[in-house]
Amino acid sequence: MLKKLFLLLLLVIFIVLTIKSIMGKPNELEVGDTIPAFILKDQNNNDFDIDRFRGKKSMVIYFYPKDDTPGCTKEACSFRDEFEIFTDLNVEVIGISADNVTSHKKFAEKYRLPFTLLADTKNKVRKLFGVPSSLMGLLPGRVTYVIDKNGIIAHIFNSQFGAEQHITQSLSILKEIKE
């Protein structure tokens, strides 16, 4: 029985990898690229237009897998704990996942998150940025983009398991941009 389950698991992994290779790699944005325009609902069900900030302030846009999971909570709380530094640097912090508005609202209230969470329920913005999946395509990727005030990507950090490093890397780059 265990052997059959193992073989079935291998077959599923093989199929997933085959489909991914046929479909090709998404068009990932790179350092130096301009971020695409988009509008999503925030945790208060308001339209959030990224172009309100382009040309006005730097941004950190971080894509994360799911609200209220251990790694994502650690990452969000780390952004919260350093939020005053981001504010002092005149930086807008924006978290994006496929969770809906209600989930984001509960997550933000539960952990007192002072920044914007956007509901990308159809993964349209994730695809626009070309955020790669991890663990053989089974998990949505955890990627942070540091964006200058002109909407140009200054730094990209991709690490599924280094949740807190997203914050330290972002602050380091933002301080360089500021100087």
List, by residue number, the catalytic residues: 72
CA 76 – CA 115 distance, rounded (Å): 9
Contact (Cβ atoms closer than 8 angstroms) between residue 106 and residue 129: no
Helices 70-81 and 165-178: angle between axes, nearest 10 degrees: 30
Please report which helix (H) or strand (E) contains residue 177, including its range.
helix 165-178
Contact (Cβ atoms closer than 8 angstroms) between residue 133 and residue 64: no
Side-chain-side CA neighbours of residue 159 (13 Å): 14
Q: Residue holding tokens 């193992």? A: 6
The secondary structure of residue 24, as a DSSP letter, is -
Interior angle at CA 87, CA 82 and CA 92, nearest 5: 100
